[in-house]
Structure 1
Amino acid sequence: MEPSASLSGVGGTSLGVARARAWESGRPDRLFDDPYAAAFAAAAPVTRRAVSPGSARARLAFHVIIRTRFYDDYLLAACAAGCRQVVLLAAGLDTRAYRLPWPEGVRLYELDLPEVLTFKESVLAGQEAVPRCSLTALPVDLRSEWPATLTDAGFDPGAPTAWLIEGLLVYLTASEASLLLTRVGSLSAPGSRVSFERNNAASTIASGDRTGITEYATLWKGGLGEDTADWLDRNGWRTEVHELADVAASYGRPVPDASLSGFLTATY
């Protein structure tokens, strides 16, 4: 999973995620089907490198696959519980708007860097992809002032919202992560939900030998680290922890080795 020269920095990591999703989608026992992931990979080809079992790259790819299915399930459960607004912060090259069976009335907002959304829209247009819900893509830098952009696009802070912050917080400093989550809270009506990785899953996965993932590791800033769940609890959220090993086992994919990573879900 390598970033591409066509999408540099943090934006480039989204291509590595798309490649992992394309690989999983080709398995007969796949946990999800992303019919567009391979098109993203083909639009920005890279030199293939072998993935050794147990390597940091293999662990990171495994995490991406499990989290994709976990977040799919989380979002659909949130909608079943009454959320009709969905906001993907750092949406990357995810195609949930196009591939998940959304209930009627869902409005989905994708926020990410302009270059990521431009690349994504170009590839999806070539695939003649059609979203399965009302979709609004908003080019923003999530370290800057983005809430007004979201509300100006029609987002209603008075309605319950399902927020997803996938693979982002580790790329932020503690102060940037705190500000982002504070803004999410300020826009969340009672009954809103949020989910993201716990314990800075990426850096936990890559503890020790980081061979093959230095493109990612050099961009990590740590986020809120071990304090993330406590931060949510102190700021009005009811938090639940989901260990990666338990989640993977529930999908019939036991973790290949010991893991301290996983996910948080929280309700406001």
Structure 2
Amino acid sequence: MTATALVVIDLQNDFCTGPAAAGRHRRAPTGLDVVADNAVRAVAAARSRAVELVHVRFTGDAEHQGPSWRRRDLLLGKAPKCREGSWGAEFHRVRPVEGERVFTKRARFDAFLAEGFEDHLREKGVEHLVFAGLYTDVCVDTSARSAFQRGFHVSVLTDCTTSLHLTDEAILSFMSTLYGARLMTLDDPEVWSVPATPPETADSGGQVVERGVARTSLMVAAARAIETHRHDSLARDDYAEHFVRAAGTCENWPVRPHEVPAGDEDPLWGRLGRYFGLRTRVLDDFVQRSVHAGARQAVLLGAGLDTRAFRLDWPRDCVVFELDQDPVLGFKQDVLDRLGATPRTRRVPVAVDFRQDWETALAAAGFDPTSPSVWLAEGLMLYLPSDAERRLIDAVDRLGVRDSSIAFEVKLGSESPQVRSSTVYSLARQRIGVDLLSLFDAEPRPDSAGYLASRGWATEVTTPFDFARSFGRGPEPQADDALASNRWIFATRT
């Protein structure tokens, strides 16, 4: 397993307390106190788990400064900080113990410019760095940037650092976007003390389903399997667990409620799993209403391991088009064939790439643009580039005649650093190798609901919490909620 090191940067008196710190950090001094308190707890957690602990300190003596540094200080009236041998250079609250290495940056921001720092990490086999300390937008960011460029995985304990010049939200979001930094809090050391490197899988055949966005279909299948066996189940999918068991890298994933010891309190398989169960039920009901209202074509966009063609009751003359990558559809078919599964209506798998032309393949598969249709994009939009989403919605608008309908899921806006550091994201990375934040497309999202409304579709924008209240079970809102920006959108062409 890849080794982790907690790197504590510049927790020194001149940066944390006293007049020098107060003069530079213009926000409430309690912010620095909280960072120091939290850093103490993070260090204790690292020591208790035998995580490699590295201390980095700064000295700003004039003899170590380069000409550009001296010129800057002269222009801005800055005095050297953390002079060697001074009280200001001493560690604040967190002090190394025997066996822990200390590295000194001499008038440098970057920990990798401290003599021996990188060599020590390489000797210890460390490939994952968890950063804490000061300041987020100066030495922490500079060191994280170097770490990323040298091939280290980067995580940041957001409650163990604070920014000097920029807002905490701005610099943390920047680090997450540019370096893929995991943003998390100290309270979940079982997650941050281990890197979230995804499992390696082969590049051919059905194993494609075990990587990247396709792997999320296995995550949803596991959630559906658990939901199936709940005493208060919202949806039933007897095929779901077989997909999970057929994927070699998922053999330890739970597929029964009793395999999740914390139950609904588990952020991943409890709360998020229940979310997927609720979403499955709501979209099942939507499809059933649509076909019984007259639609005879169902188009599942990004079908993944969807088994609605096998699970739901369909009118006799319906056809279900399942659109997804060819390896994903092949994996699903192999599993269903081994089970002897028979669809309850005509089912047509269609291999496509939604970043390219997929309408031609759908037409060739027999889709009739003159007949009402129901479309599902369950989770797909979260991973598509903005232009691909626009093209998809435009295609549905062109192909959906009167009485056609569509349901899809989006996230509104960008999530804050606090939400991005949510435990559910870190647990998905750590436990099952699904890095949702890196898979979500980061581009500004189009207003697909607004576009459909402007084109004559009766559109309804809902939250998952609306349905949780309606069913009397499912996730409820919470602070810094990874589900808060999710919207389920339903539209019918009138």
Fold conserved between structures, TM > 0.5: yes
Q: Tell me by how many angstroms 1:197 deviates.
A: 1.2
Deviations 1:60-102 (A, max 9, x none): 3232111100000000000111101100000010100001011
Q: Tell me by how many angstroms 1:165 deviates.
A: 0.5
User: Which 10-residue stretch deviates more, 180-189 or 157-166?
Assistant: 180-189
Q: 2:350 aligns with which of 138, 152, 155?
A: 138
Q: In structure 1, the residue corresponding to 2:306 is in which secondary structure? A: coil
User: In the alignment, what sits opposite 1:231?
Assistant: 451
Cα distance in 2, alignment partners of residues 202 and 191 from structure 1: 33
Asked if the contact 1:169/1:224 (under 8 Å) is kept, the reply is no
Change (3 A) 1:236 1:217: same
Q: 1:21 aligns with which of 208, 224, 236?
A: 224
Cα distance in 2, alignment partners of residues 223 and 145 from structure 1: 21
Q: 2:397 aligns with which of 170, 173, 185?
A: 185
Aligned CA RMSD, in angstroms, stands at 2.6
User: In the alignment, what sits opposite 1:263?
Assistant: 488
Cα distance in 2, alignment partners of residues 158 and 141 from structure 1: 24
User: In the alignment, what sits opposite 2:330?
Assistant: 118
Q: 1:43 aligns with which of 228, 243, 246?
A: 246
2:370 corresponds to 1:158: yes
Cα distance in 1, alignment partners of residues 328 and 199 from structure 2: 12
- Unaligned stretches of 5+ in structure 1? none
Q: Tell me by how many angstroms 1:242 deviates.
A: 2.3
User: Which 10-residue stretch deviates more, 86-95 or 24-33?
Assistant: 24-33
Cα distance in 2, alignment partners of residues 103 and 223 from structure 1: 40
User: In the alignment, what sits opposite 2:426?
Assistant: 211
Asked if the contact 2:379/2:410 (under 8 Å) is kept, the reply is no
User: In the alignment, what sits opposite 1:175?
Assistant: 387
2:310 corresponds to 1:98: yes
User: In the alignment, what sits opposite 2:24?
Assistant: none
User: Which 10-residue stretch deviates more, 17-26 or 252-261?
Assistant: 252-261
Asked if the contact 1:84/1:107 (under 8 Å) is kept, the reply is yes
Q: Write the letter of the residue equivalent to 2:241.
A: A
User: Which 10-residue stretch deviates more, 209-218 or 165-174?
Assistant: 209-218
Change (3 A) 1:154 1:170: same
Q: Percentage identity across aligned positions?
A: 37
Q: In structure 1, the residue corresponding to 2:374 is in which secondary structure? A: strand
Aligned residues: 267
Q: Write the letter of the residue equivalent to 1:190.
A: R
User: Which 10-residue stretch deviates more, 150-159 or 255-264?
Assistant: 255-264
- Unaligned stretches of 5+ in structure 2? 1-197, 202-206, 255-259, 430-434, 479-483
User: In the alignment, what sits opposite 1:74?
Assistant: 286
Deviations 1:38-75 (A, max 9, x none): 10111013444868626366443232111100000000
2:278 corresponds to 1:63: no
User: In the alignment, what sits opposite 2:100?
Assistant: none
Q: In structure 1, the residue corresponding to 2:440 is in which secondary structure? A: coil
